[in-house]
Amino acid sequence: MPKTHHVIVGGSIAGVSAAVAMRQNGFSGTITVIDAEPLLPYERPPLSKMADAQQALRPIFPQEHYAEHGIDLLLSTRVRRLDDDRRRVELEGGDSLPADRVLLATGVSCRRLGVPGEELAGVHTLRTAEDARRISAALARGGPLVVIGGGFIGLEAAAVARTAGVDVTVVEAGELPLLGPLGTPVARLMTRLHEEHGVHVITGQTVRCFTGGTAVEEVVLTSGRRLPAATVIVGVGVTADDRLAREVGATCLNGVVTDQHGRTDHPWLWAAGDVAAHIHPAVGSRGRIEHWDVAMRHGAAVGASMADRPTVNSAVPYFWSDHYGTSLQMFGRAQPQVRVVLRDGATPERFAAFWLRGNRLVAVAGLDEPKTVRAAKAVLDAGVPVSAESLADPSTDLRALSRGPARQTLSSSG
């Protein structure tokens, strides 16, 4: 009898983690990972830091790791379609693979603005190693750089460029950069951090068009203002790369809809990582979570489930973002109708922030505050009631707080 074959589309951290987890959970069939890029699957978080120069691209695993786990890699290979009836994965060029189960770990694609001049040389998105290489080469020739969109990737690239002495302007359509993921108090601190390092921040504006000969020379804003630009990075969000799922009729709602184990409403089709719209236990509502750590853990859980060891990723979502030699770390997700509490003494260079729903901590973030963030995560994990006043007070022992009132009393009484 032929071996059972699991095909993973996408050499992302979710896809690679799923492949390894299949082996670790006893799957003995064939595993094939298909990826369109020619490189070994690599870590994506460093890409927005590569604009400063020569940071080496880091493979997720070395080549021999895949051989040791019996994982076949098909690189520089694109999937044309999934044949739902014959259970085959059809590749561009005409070849196809049999697949007892398919995992989509295709991630996301960068949104485009859809404005005139967007195809000019010098207008970039940042998603792949090749994108990062082009931007790095462009910034080495000098600025000015205009970043469209005040999200994490754009601001990280802005920080790297400013550190290298490049003139940088960030154009954000909303009231503040990072307002959606962080809320007003924290977004205001992060904006001030960038402004103090010389980044020009323009809010409430977007792009009317890009102008230039063969390469971009100016960014024209909706107000009519013109910004000189030698390089532009467009970072206005992403869309789920769910084409293959949609074409076979799987349900997609801002991503591929899956159950808690990663299975879609097509029994042979699964999804993990950024492309998957699932209900995370720590969030409670369906959606995609575009964080490296979450994708890694979700991929591993789905891989175990595909090996018939049903597993749910219940770890609290975590991400980090680097700016000017400091790291913003966050556990949990900022959600609507929650209160944001800043710890007393917060500055743009160092702060801790807490998100409260009623008297329950749902998220914590800190810039250059790793110990505080880790201690607050213990409070979050414990689910104990807390007050805004105690969180705001730097003298509060968060680890003692996480043990609850009874254990705090016992501890204090000796």
Q: Are 301 and 335 within one domain?
A: no
118 lies in a domain?
A: no
Q: Are 154 and 169 within one domain?
A: yes
Q: What is the DSSP string of 168-232?
A: EEEEESSSSTTHHHH-HHHHHHHHHHHHHTT-EEEES--EEEEEESSBEEEEEETTS-EEE-SEE
Query: 48 falls in which pLDDT band (50, 70, 90)?
Result: confident
Res 282: pLDDT: 87
Cα–Cα distance measured from residue 91 to residue 184, given in angstroms and rounded to the nearest whole number: 46
313 lies in a domain?
A: no
**Residue 221: domain span:** 123-236
317 lies in a domain?
A: no
Cα–Cα distances (Å) from 298 to 32, 73, 289, 290, in that order, read 19, 21, 10, 11
Q: Is the pLDDT of residue 334 over 80?
A: yes
- Show which of 219, 236, 253 is a domain's final residue: 236
- Show which of 186, 207, 236 is a domain's final residue: 236
Cα–Cα distances (Å) from 47 to 4, 31, 231, in that order, read 36, 28, 17
pLDDT > 70 fraction of the chain, expressed in percent and rounded: 96
In sign, the C-alpha dihedral spanning 159, 161, 166, 169 is negative
Our count of domains for the chain comes to: 3
Res 410: pLDDT: 35
How do beta strands 168-172 and 200-203 pair? parallel
319 lies in a domain?
A: no
Q: Are 95 and 168 within one domain?
A: no
Q: Are 265 and 198 within one domain?
A: no
> Which pTM value belongs to this model?
0.93
Q: Are 225 and 281 within one domain?
A: no
CATH number at residue 164: 3.50.50.60
Q: Are 284 and 341 within one domain?
A: no
Q: Are 252 and 232 within one domain?
A: no
Q: Tens digits of per-residue pLDDT, 58-67?
A: 899 999 999 9
